[in-house]
Amino acid sequence: MRETKIYGYIRVSSRDQNEERQMIALTEVGVPGKNIFIDKQSGKDFERRQYKRLLRKLDQDSVLYVKSIDRLGRNYGDLNEQWRVITKEKKADIVVLDMPILDTRREKNLMGTFISDIVLSLLSYVAENERVNIRQRQAEGIAAARARGVQFGRKPVPLPDNFKEIYQMWRTKEISTYEAACACQMPLSTFKYKASRYQEQ
């Protein structure tokens, strides 16, 4: 009888997020620390180094544990394709800890596979839809803030005290652009930009 190889996969969206919660969940079900693969990047696609390393190790004697389906991925089409690769091509099993119905070790018959595929399709669609909605809410929030006069980015540096005087001299061609920029202690491009904005105002 061949020994079952147990693997775990963890993904966090950025280097600031902590993977400890997922690590605890995987170790509690018996995944050895050396078999846990961690990626710290977005779930929008599967171009992830550790995920690719994990995929190469999976075979018909493997079980892959993930805490939740969105840790595997968020893109609806890609997620379904990777599920197919793992379960059909690699012939490995997947266990989603937060969703016990997504455990391919249960009911290896056609009905069990059918139910798993339907649930996965539904969940991955919801995960992607939520990602799209978050982006839309962020865009709407930024647009609303801008409409209220909120400015994003760095605060503009105030014009030097002598800018008005130098600008007038530059505009009447008493001094060159280079001389004006030097007098205001600005790079040439910055002076030109500030002068054009000043003129508009």
Mind telling me the catalytic residues?
Answer: 13
DSSP per position, the chain: -PPPEEEEEEEESSTTS--HHHHHHHHHTT--GGGEEEEES-SSSS--HHHHHHHHH--TTEEEEESSHHHH---HHHHHHHHHIIIIIS--EEEETT-TT-BTTS--SHHHHHHHHHHHHHHHHHHHHHHHHHHHHHHHHHHHHHHTT---SSPPPPPPTTHHHHHHHHHTTSS-HHHHHHHTT--HHHHHHHHHHHHH-
